[in-house]
Amino acid sequence: MSGLLTLDYSLRQHGSKYPLVALYTDTLEPEGLAGLDARGIPKRRVNYLLPSVHKDYSNEVRFYDCWSKLTPFSLVEFERVVQLDSDMLVLRNMDELMELELDPPSLEGRGERVFAASHACVCNPLGLPHYPKDWIPTNCAFTSQHDTPELAQVEGAPPSTGAGIINGGLQVVNPSTAVYNLILARLSNPSGVSDYEFADQSLLSDLFKDRWVSLPYVYNALKTLRWPGVHKDIWMDGNVKNIHYILNPKPWDKREGGPDEPHDWWWSANDLRLAEENARGIATDGF
């Protein structure tokens, strides 16, 4: 919950003219709902999505929750949705994503620009044994940009590069009933879902293979990209617009981040948020 609240603060801090709408399922505790209300953050309940057949994610239980991140495609009351994971922190204004050219809903998912996202990093820097064997640096889209770091700040590698899989932390979507129905149909297909090791991002990368807009890393700057030996060749602190605190521990789990400097960026923003809330008279609720 602290991650979501600090994400909202960082959007406002950097002058976004678009509000954060918190999407939640029935798993959110009443205290969390009260925390959103106390801060005036708009919220919307969504259904908890799961495939029609069980997919074992015992190695990565977080993926059970990730199917629900497909919901923004269904939110047709909005013309444009930029989905953000709650373990992100905005560092620079990125309102331009609301104007990015995408296929109109009338194309019903048949176009070449169905949605926008950044590539997943498939380097597997932690050497997790349950990750696919082809998740290696030579198969990573970001590796292909090491020789052109300046270009990597403004352009993503083509969607087909390397493994060709998105990271679902940030997605730019023109909601469409037709597109959402395509997604639901795939969710109900046992043979398809059984191969989706990374839940929502595997589904989208497969269903709309090479038909998505590749955003540069700066919009979904996975914290591991900055690590030595991963993609430090393209990472530039001053250009990052939105950092994504993937993997554990999350910044709010402990104050001391060790050598991971971006951990401290989150705490600096969180401290400013708490000071603002105290000034506004918001009762202390532990968030």
pTM score: 0.96
The C-alpha atoms of residue 100 and residue 222 are separated, in whole angstroms, by 21
Q: Does domain 48-260 have CATH number 3.30.70?
A: no
Query: Residue 136 to residues 128, 149, 230, 231: CA-CA distances in angstroms?
Result: 11, 20, 11, 13
Residue-level pLDDT, tens digit, the chain, 287 residues: 999 999 999 999 999 999 999 999 999 999 999 999 999 999 999 999 999 887 787 777 777 789 999 999 999 999 999 999 999 999 999 999 999 999 999 999 999 999 999 999 999 999 999 999 999 999 999 999 999 999 999 999 999 999 999 999 999 999 999 999 999 999 999 887 888 989 999 999 999 999 999 999 999 999 999 999 999 999 999 999 999 999 989 999 988 766 689 999 999 999 999 999 999 988 778 89
Residue spans of the domains in the chain: they are 48-260
The C-alpha atoms of residue 37 and residue 192 are separated, in whole angstroms, by 40
Residue 112 near residue 211, CB atoms below 8 Å: yes
Question: By C-alpha distance, which of 177, 260, 171 is closest to 213?
Answer: 171
User: How far out from the chain centre does Cα 138 lie?
Assistant: 23
